[in-house]
Amino acid sequence: MRGSKAWRNSGGALVLANNNHRKKLKYNQHRWHRCWLWPPVMVCGVILFALGLISLFTGHVASNLEWYSQKLVKHRFWYNKRGGSGHESIDIWKSESSKFYYGCSERGPNYAPPVHESLSNGYLLIAASGGLNQQRTGITDAVVVARILNATLVVPELDHYSFWKDDSEFANIFDVDWFISILAKDIPVVKRVPDKYMRALEKPPYTMRVPRKSEPQYYLDEVLPTLLRRHVVQLTKFDYRLANDLSEELQRLRCRVNYHAFRFTKPLHKLGHKLVMKMRNMANRYIAVHLRFEPDMLAFSGCYYGGGDKERYELGEIRKRWTNLPDLLPDGEQRKRGKCPLTPHEVGLMLRALGFNNDTYIYVASGEIYGGEETLQPLRELFPNFYTKEMLVTEELLPFLPFSSRLAAIDYIVCDESDVFVTNNNGNMAKILAGRRRYMGHKRTIRPNARKLGALFLQREKMPWTTFSSKVKSAQRGFMGEPDEMKPGRADFHEYPSSCICKKPFIFSYMSLEDPVSNAPLAFNSQGELSASSLVPRGEGPSNSEVGSQYTDTPVIDRDLSLVTGEHSEGKPALAFSTPTGISLGGSSEPLTLHWS
């Protein structure tokens, strides 16, 4: 029996006992592994496995098994390198499957027009909270809350009292008129409460603080009556006050705000892009690293990096700024749990291990580095082409220096424009940029898998570099910013805006896919239909004929098509397709021409 035939019946192998059994089992484990990475289908995985076992003895359920497995991947585009074992090196600069996706945040056909200011239920004042990017998430949610309440939003006030103590106003950072005009089809936004209401207004305005992650219904039940009564309500400390999961329309509104309505003011935009140009003039592409190895971050997270009493004392002093921090764990425990940023040296080692050469240009976005120049030195040795904003411009930066939010905006721009962005904590800037980069076409964002890497760094001296490197690569699988590495709804929406990521429709205009049994090419016409003449009825065994009869249903392959690449039982690349009706085809393939519009 030929291996290709066996694969043909598998979709998850295990099915036909033959001399390639071992290899096929490997393929199946791989599929199982992917199911594991994607927990809601774990149940399906169990079914798959059970069916597989049964089919070992009967052979009958082969096509069902295939069908189930294809159902599993429906609406998903599992990208894998040819051969599909998932262990091949990937292009570290660019996700190869990014081209199959695009950001989408259009309003649906039944989206109601915005309420007019004069008919709105009142004016919503918002006091954003935290640093620049935390405020950005808050303002995004504020727009959605205004939409839920049919309220008029007053341009939000920024936080002047956070850890960063920045006096900047919204208009110093973001283009206010742009913000108002982009959102005009969603909600009315005004710069200030009209005088008519101002005169009647208590001073300060009536304030409310809603619980974290409140559902839309909470706003309707608790905030709306007050808003109607008082006309003006201020929501304070507004960060993460709206639930993560919302209806698709509201999620898409979040994307319109976050990715379209915010535009930095001209001076920030100009300087940010000047830095980007300077990087690009030196190298075609660059990595931006958000080090965030800053004293407040380390202290807040309760991290310890082996600096003895000096470090314990210094970070301990900073910890006193916050009340209610959890008790410190024993030295190093937080790091083992993956709760701490990597040191700059470790970030450098990770990047080199992943395959970035020493001639790579890196831009380091950071505030004050804990330990200063000394801490940075090992990273600079690994990447001599090392730049910060202070190294690229000096005088032009001066006007911004007193304003941490404006400096953060400049770093945001350079990181956003980078080819590869490396985060080093799960803070707000890291999340916001990771989400934005997905929306903007899945430019790579590397998140260090701190928990796994931590253990590896401890062992580094005990293994050759090549071993270390391959272990780092394996630890980083699923943390490289690939489109399908995250499960929708699991992550914070700002980090993974799943409602705003669309898959491009496929059009199969030409394809040569070999029928695994007859070796005849399968042909598709320009409509993407499988031409019936290329279908060869299966003759061998019950499972074959069952699948064979499915072929004659003439699937129309269109935008709902899923493609699975896998390892052929002879070690060749293989493909399976599933269509909306659950029909699947498999075979060894080459060449395959995909067109996407």
Contacts with ligand NAG by CB under 6 A lie at 112, 115, 121, 149-150, 220, 224, 358-359, 384
Closest CA to 242 of 270, 269, 259, 220: 220
Nearer to ligand NAG, 150 or 562 (CB): 150
Q: How far is the CB of 410 from ligand NAG (least distance, A)?
A: 26
Q: How far is the CB of 420 from ligand NAG (least distance, A)?
A: 18
- Whether the bond between 488 and the residue before it is cis, its omega within 30 degrees of 0, is no
Residues 6+ apart with CB under 8 A from 92: 354, 355, 356, 420, 444, 480
Q: How far is the CB of 380 from ligand NAG (least distance, A)?
A: 10
Nearer to ligand NAG, 227 or 407 (CB): 227
Place of tokens 């592409």: 285
Q: How far is the CB of 16 from ligand NAG (least distance, A)?
A: 50
- Start-end of H helices in 337-489: 344-354, 372-382, 389-392, 404-417, 428-439, 450-459, 465-475
Q: How far is the CB of 430 from ligand NAG (least distance, A)?
A: 28
Nearer to ligand NAG, 10 or 150 (CB): 150
Q: How far is the CB of 383 from ligand NAG (least distance, A)?
A: 8
Which amino acid is located at 57 in the chain? F
Nearer to ligand NAG, 121 or 428 (CB): 121
Closest CA to 272 of 434, 433, 443, 411: 411
Nearer to ligand NAG, 353 or 475 (CB): 353
Nearer to ligand NAG, 115 or 271 (CB): 115
**How far apart, in whole angstroms, are the C-alpha atoms of residue 431 and residue 423?**
9
Nearer to ligand NAG, 36 or 465 (CB): 465
> If DSSP states are collapsed to H, E and C, what string results for 407-449?
HHHHHHHHHHHCCEEECCCCCHHHHHHHHHHHHCCCCEEECCC
**How far apart, in whole angstroms, are the C-alpha atoms of residue 448 and residue 454?**
10
Q: How far is the CB of 115 from ligand NAG (least distance, A)?
A: 6
Q: How far is the CB of 324 from ligand NAG (least distance, A)?
A: 35
Nearer to ligand NAG, 122 or 427 (CB): 122
Closest CA to 101 of 482, 489, 447: 482
Q: How far is the CB of 94 from ligand NAG (least distance, A)?
A: 22
Tokens coding 347 = 């970030």
Burial of 461 (0-12, 13-18, 19+ CB in 10 A): exposed
- Whether the bond between 591 and the residue before it is cis, its omega within 30 degrees of 0, is yes
H or E stretch covering 287: strand 286-290
Nearer to ligand NAG, 305 or 383 (CB): 383
Q: How far is the CB of 118 from ligand NAG (least distance, A)?
A: 14
Residues 6+ apart with CB under 8 A from 129: 135, 138, 159, 162, 236, 237, 238, 239
Nearer to ligand NAG, 46 or 220 (CB): 220
